[in-house]
Amino acid sequence: MAWLFRNWALKLGAVALATVLYTGLVFSGSFSDTTFPGVSVTAIAQPEGTYLLTQQLGTVDIKYRSATDPPVSVTTDSFAVTIDLATYDMSQAPQVQSLEVTVRPLSDGIEVLSFTPTAVSVALDRLDQAQVRVAIDSGVVPNGLEIGTPQLSAQRVTASGPRSLLDRVDRALATVRIDPSGIDCCGQVDLVPVDIDGRRVESVELDPSTVRVQIDVSTVETSRTVPIRPLVTGAPAAGFEVGTVTAEPSVVTLRGSPEVLAAIGEILTEPISLAGSNATLRATGTLVLPDGARLADPGASEPTIVIQIREAVGTRTLVLGLVCSGAPSGSACLPRVGQVAATVGGTVSDLDALDPADLTASLDVSGLGPGDHLVQPTVALPNGVTLVTLSPISVTVTIVPPATPAP
């Protein structure tokens, strides 16, 4: 150990000089501290037979020190940013675990000072296999066609992938579409792993990945249920109008080719004349069937058509004078306006029978003291006539007390 302390003063001075020179070099601007953002994290040492569920490991921001004039430019390739998957605890798979990030420079003259984040969350799972059934989705069969039982080249296939995702796979789905031309379907069809709700399960592979599907397609006569619309002609008697028009039954089922039935939205009856009617009509409706269509039940009875004929209703606006009622004895009741416009409704015959001279708008001022008051007029109307609107709705009334006798 003697050599260690030999010329100790000289050695101590050399260390001090080196420290001063390094400090001067740093503060003279020969080195600079910089932050490089967004360097991708790479996973290494993945255990055999596992699957990395966390596909996006994120990025880190690296603070580093380098010479002010480095020999090469600093890029993302200047750093190795990794996580060691061998440190993942497989006994807890596929739970999310936090693994430390390691950053080291790959270029000379670069010193890593710090980086964030220092750890990332990842999840690993074991790879496995399972047998799943093959199912067919033929979509909506075009009108006029029917399909037979699908024939498949394989009833079950092997699904491979992470164990946690395999548990979600319900079936291998082959999606086909039936051509409206009626050509037999379908040939070789791709298979997709889906869950019980029909959503695709990613990261799972199927073997085989396709299946041969054969579906016999044939053209058939179809049926369609459409509403019955009575055809009404003519007009009711004066002062009357048509109310509801109903058919019993209200619909009819037809049979025919898809092309014919697709163009039928409703079935009309032969014309039914009102002929100045003033009462509800009941008639048997004769259906008018388009060419190429027939009744699904030839023995079905023809519909009964009920046409409601009712008195026409309308409205009238009457100008009515205002009168006060219930004013205190000796007091005067003075409305600010002398008339109101009353809109009344009812049948035309009831409205024609009205005489505005027999109607008044009353202002009930019972219990009101002297001064101004806002009072809502009331109108007494005969049976069958209703008040629709009143303008103005309220009227200002002044109650003037009797004059005080002179002493």
- Owner of token pair 């991708």: 40
pLDDT at 221: 77
Full 3-state SS string of 138-159: CCCCCCCEEECCCEECCCEEEE
CB 145 within 8 Å of CB 182: yes
The answer to whether residue 347 scores a pLDDT higher than 80 is yes
pTM reported for the whole predicted model: 0.44
Domain 126-219 architecture: Beta Complex (2.170)
Same fold, 126-219 and 313-400: yes
CA 208/CA 260 separation, integer angstroms: 44
Residue 9 vs residue 297, higher pLDDT? 297
CA 182/CA 194 separation, integer angstroms: 28
Q: What is the DSSP letter of 29?
A: I
The residues with which 110 forms a beta bridge, in sequence order, are 66
The answer to whether residue 3 scores a pLDDT higher than 50 is no
Q: Which of 19-33, 38-52, 146-160, 233-247 has the lowest mean pLDDT?
A: 19-33
Q: What SS3 state is found at 101?
A: strand
For the beta sheet containing 97-105, the strands, ordered from the edge strand earlier in sequence to the opposite edge, are: 42-44, 79-84, 97-105, 119-122
The domain made up of 313-400 has a fold known as RNA Polymerase Alpha Subunit; Chain A, domain 2 (2.170.120)
Q: Which of 153-167, 294-308, 347-361, 385-399 has the lowest mean pLDDT?
A: 347-361
- Owner of token pair 């019980």: 196
Kindly tell me the sign of the dihedral angle through the C-alpha atoms of 40, 41, 47, 49.
Answer: negative
Q: Which of 1-5, 122-126, 190-194, 291-295 has the lowest mean pLDDT?
A: 1-5
For the beta sheet containing 267-268, the strands, ordered from the edge strand earlier in sequence to the opposite edge, are: 267-268, 222-229, 251-256, 294-295
CB 152 within 8 Å of CB 191: no
Average pLDDT (93-116) is 92
pLDDT at 286: 92
Residues in the chain: 407
The residues with which 289 forms a beta bridge, in sequence order, are none
Q: Which residues contact 283 (CB under 8 A, 6 or more apart)?
A: 272, 304, 305, 307
pLDDT at 28: 46
Residue 25 vs residue 43, higher pLDDT? 43
- pLDDT band for position 349 (50/70/90)? confident
CA 81/CA 63 separation, integer angstroms: 13
Residue spans of the domains in the chain: they are: 14-122, 126-219, 224-311, 313-400
The answer to whether residue 358 scores a pLDDT higher than 90 is no
Q: How far is CA 318 from the centre of its chain?
A: 51
The domain made up of 224-311 has a fold known as RNA Polymerase Alpha Subunit; Chain A, domain 2 (2.170.120)
CA distances from 272 to 140, 249, 282, 302 (A): 41, 17, 10, 14
pLDDT mean across residues, the chain? 87
Q: Does domain 14-122 have CATH number 2.170.120.30?
A: yes
Q: What SS3 state is found at 11?
A: helix
CA 259/CA 227 separation, integer angstroms: 18
- pLDDT band for position 8 (50/70/90)? low
The answer to whether residue 19 scores a pLDDT higher than 60 is no
